[in-house]
Amino acid sequence: MRFLFYSHDSYGLGHLRRSVTIASQLIDRLPQASVLIATGSPVATSFKLPGGVDILKLPSVSKDRAGRYVSREWPMELRDLLKFRSKLLESTVEGFRPRVLLVDHKPIGLMGELSLALSKARNIGTRCLLGLRDIVDHPDAMESEFGSDEVRHSLSENYSQIMVYGDRRVFDASREYSQLAAVRKRLRFTGYVVRPAARPPFRPLALLRPHVVVTVGGGEDGPRRVNRYMDALELGDPAWNSTIILGPLFSNEKGREVKKRARTMRSVEIHRTHNDLPALLRDASAVVSMAGYNTVTEILQARIPSVLLPRVTPRLEQAVRAQRLAALGLAQSAAGAEPKELFESITRAIQQRRILAELPAMNGAQKAAAMLLQSAVTGRSGSYVDHPPMGPHAGAAS
């Protein structure tokens, strides 16, 4: 049984990491399955993959300073690059002949590049599912994402099921995004997709000196946040140790500057990457992080108090997520905080010791895998589970 995942991944690591997590659960349930992940992530080949899962690396795209998509590595016009990717995706569907195609985030692919592959999938009987993270963008900005006639047509005609990788008690995409009204009956909330925790936290020295982990996801837009954290440290003598993870996409030049600055500080370690970031997060006293999907879900799963520094460009997804989680007592949002405010927020997080508020559903990877298998075997959609709101903001746009 073959499954094809598509993840455009032009920025950061989130889409690919989520795809790998779901693929791992799928293989656990059906070891003889084959999963091929087609992705444009620039670090796709550095991911550790389970048996039965492989990567089809698409030529990467990125965004320039104006927020426009451009070819990342090749000296090629974007339209030519997308035409090449489109043909590659179409031929992959034709040659691999997947039972199910899972499309991540973009119903027609990046700027329509998936349209030919979707048409081919329909013709050979492949069942197509769409997966959306909990928050795509602020509701006011969704017309540019899902408002075009081509996207509306694809949502209506191509997808038998649309999985939302979140908990509607935090953010109800079925109601907050009017563009999804026509397909609301096909939406299924899976809960948050997160790698299973390997073990409980173990902090033998937590009472002697707290440990704060700082992570900025892939790191492509991390330098400003790392430097703001270091500005906060310089306000006084912090009563904690710091481990800062820059990420594989953090600028080499900026990374050298950060390491040079850290040498003047007490108890600050800088790493480009970490071989077990979930374990590092679980053992932290507090976490300072961007509000990207994957990192936030791992923080929540470990119940570690966090201070979130959300990205606000090119979309407001992280800002909305940080705001909603803060309203539910699951995190602190420090968007735009000055160093003094950030220092105070970190101190409160350390003193909190553990998230005590009710967590949203965290079994999204298992539910998504089950839905994919059910679709592959029977072609039927899974049941739609309704949940009561978790807090005052669960049903209204921020």
Number of domains in the chain: 2
Shared domain for 115 and 220, answered yes or no, is no
In a domain, 27, yes or no: yes
**E strand or H helix at 54, and its extent?**
strand 53-57
137 and 26 in one domain? yes
- CATH number reported for the structural domain that contains residue 239 in this entry: 3.40.50.2000
Residues in contact with 22: Cβ distance below 8 Å, sequence separation at least 6, in sequence order: 5, 102, 131, 193, 365, 368, 369, 372
pLDDT, mean of residues 172-188: 94
Co-location of 156 and 240 in the same domain: no
Same domain, 65 and 168: yes
What mean pLDDT comes out for the span 269-298?
91
Residue 32 lies in a domain: yes
In a domain, 394, yes or no: no
Locate 169 and state its tokens.
């008690």
C-beta neighbour count of 71 within 10 angstroms: 17
Q: Bigger pLDDT: 199 or 356? A: 356
3-class DSSP state of 247: coil
Report the pLDDT averaged over residues 221-226: 89
Answer yes or no: is 398 within a domain. Answer: no
206 in a structural domain = no
Same domain, yes or no, for 12 and 59? yes
Together in a domain, 12 and 97: yes
Does some domain include residue 205?
Answer: no
Assigned domain for 384 exists: no
CB atoms within 10 A of CB 33: 21
Nearest to 36 by CA among 119, 94, 120, 122: 94
User: Are 141 and 36 in a shared domain?
Assistant: yes
Kindly state whether residue 91 falls inside one of the protein's structural domains. yes
Same-domain check for residues 129 and 267: no
Q: What is the DSSP string of 186-220?
A: GEEE-----PPP-S----TTTTTS-EEEEE-TT-T
- Taking only the tens place, the pLDDT of each residue in 347-361 is 999 999 999 999 999
Are the C-beta atoms of residues 104 and 165 closer than 8 Å to each other? no
Residue 301: DSSP 8-state: H
- Do residue 160 and residue 253 come from a single domain? no
- Per-residue pLDDT band at 383 (split at 50, 70, 90): very low
Domain range for 80: 2-192+363-378
Residues 91 and 183 in one domain: yes
CA neighbor of 44 nearest in space, from 65, 61, 28: 61
Same domain, 24 and 74: yes
Indicate if the pLDDT at residue 381 is higher than 50: no
Residue 397 has pLDDT above 50, yes or no: no
Among 201-205, 277-281, 310-314, the least confident range? 201-205
Tell me how far apart the alpha carbons of residues 258 and 244 are, in angstroms, rounded to a whole number: 10
Q: How confident is the model at residue 382 (pLDDT cuts 50, 70, 90)?
A: very low
137 DSSP assignment: S
Q: Is 34 in a helix, a strand, or coil?
A: strand
